[in-house]
Chains A and B, each alone.
Chain A
Amino acid sequence: MRAVITVIGKDKVGIIAGVSAILANCNVNILDISQTTMQDIFTMITLVDISKMSVGFSELSDRLEEKGKELGLEIKAQHEDIFNSMHRI
């Protein structure tokens, strides 16, 4: 099972550290990271493996959201299927 974590907001120190610390704590493996800055907006998209995750999905999602608030960014975790179903036939 895989999920996509998106971070959107103003770039600053510690975004990747903050997110990856939570992921490591929850035993979530990072498969791929890409990041860009579009019109001053920092976006990071992370594909992760959640099959051995030590917490429930909503717990992970809450922790990331909280981190987002702390850093002044929007952090969202979504099951990979939503993107696959929308963009792949």
Chain B
Amino acid sequence: MINQFEVMETIKMIQEEKLDIRTITMGISLRDCSDADGEAARRKIYDKITRYAANLVKIGEDIEKEYGIPIIHKRISVTPISLIAESCDEEDYVKFAKTLDAAAEAVGVNFIGGFSALVHKGYTSGDRKLIRSIPLALSTTQKVCSSVNVASTKAGINMDAVAEMGQVIKEAAELTAADGGLACAKLVVFANVPEDNPFMAGAFHGIGEPECVINVGISGPGTVKSALEKVKGADFGTVAETIKKTAFKITRMGQLVAQEASRRLGVSFGILDLSLAPTPAIGDSVAHILEEMGLERCGTHGTTAALAMLNDAVKKGGTMASSYVGGLSGAFTPVSEDAGMIDAVVKGALSIDKLEAMTCVCSVGLDMIVVPGSTKAETLSAIIADETAIGVVNNKTTAVRIIPAPGKNVGDVVEFGGLLGSGPVMAVNPFGSEAFIKRGGRIPAPIHSLRN
């Protein structure tokens, strides 16, 4: 029999350390929903999503109850809509976003991702229309998430798209000015986007994916932090070993839930995403793990090294625990969604520049960062260019989810509510990048011999 200590450890992890399954995301291919008639395409999209995902929420809740482990989100990702919508001759894709929103509402999921376009090498006409529709689509829907991949290691950086995304973000912020620019929290700009990521806002169902698939994202920063509290002062070998063991346990639980969900839904299991995803709740912070390692505040010198080690140890421990690992897998550093990060910004310990450095060694990028509403579109584009360059050159995924909150300045705090948390407005570099962004074109793919 399982011993008492193990039972109590599991229960403590769930109850006190906020261990949970962050998301069960059902990926649904919409490739058979294209139609020359936009209305017909939307009908097919709605019918297919509501048919495949009819039981998703119910089965998620059943598993939650039987295993006693909270499953925070049940979500859906779909084929990038630019690929589906471009068969019709409509100019405006907002109606497609509304269809996704209605389908998500009907099946009871809280987000649906895939209002997306992949333009790392260039635009098709559908990509262009989709990107132009993003600000209105995100400001007139509740549950739709959007992502645009503007760069890849093999293709380089599409600087036309980078320039346009700066404008799109500005426009989306202005359309939702009353909510602090909330639409931007549902929009991610990527380099090397993964096709099987279960986490929002960047989830979509890639074109190499099967008809329908279950991807699961795990979490557990609180569990890692409390494991580290038990090895105070020990050397880094011990710290890495402790993180690995904890990540292994968390991931095994995720694997169990993923297999169970895919079996009950009759859908193949795709991947487990081994991410430490924080929430604004106390005791669920990645920043606090870094501080537990001995940093006075997240963002001070040593933060990048601490994060690099954390990220690596999580992957090492988690990989052995799951048969298929994918998605973003690593530690997330979304500022507004992490109590420790928010604190670090407010105390002046953490800047955008340091976050950018941190993204070289962790899983995503500049995530949920609020900047002054007066930030120029070109500056946003330049921030995206920097971040995508890190991804492209280092052969990793990077992303930008940035919110130029209208009317807000450094020192203000923007409340988004719920899991999106509250974002202190961070300073951007006051010097311009207009002429750089205006050039347009494509930054060539980097060479990968002669590595220095």
Contact = CB atoms under 8 A, between A and B. Distances in A.
Contact of B4 (A45, A82, A85): A45
A76 interface: yes
A66 interface: no
Contacts of A4: 2, 7
Interface stretch (B41-49, B87-95, B115-123, B247-255): B247-255
A85 B250 CA distance: 10
A79 B65 CA distance: 9
Interface in B1-29: 1-2, 4, 6-11
Interface in A61-89: 61, 76-88
Interface stretch (B66-74, B235-243, B385-393, B402-410): B66-74
Given A32-B1, A82-B67, A86-B252, A6 B11 contact: yes
A47 interface: yes
Contacts of B7: 4, 6, 45, 83
A34 B1 CA distance: 11
Given A47-B1, A86-B252, A81 B67 contact: yes
Question: Size class of B's contact patch?
Answer: 20 to 34
Give the interface SS of chain B, mostly helix, strand, loop or mixed. helix
A85 B256 contact: yes
Most buried by B among A32, A78, A80, A88: A78
A3 B68 CA distance: 11
Nearest to A8: B11
Contacts of B1: 32, 47
Contact of A78 (B6, B8, B66, B255): B66
Contacts of A34: 4
Interface of A: 4, 6, 8, 32, 34, 36, 43, 45, 47, 57-58, 61, 76-88
Interface of B: 1-2, 4, 6-11, 62, 65-69, 249, 252-253, 255-256
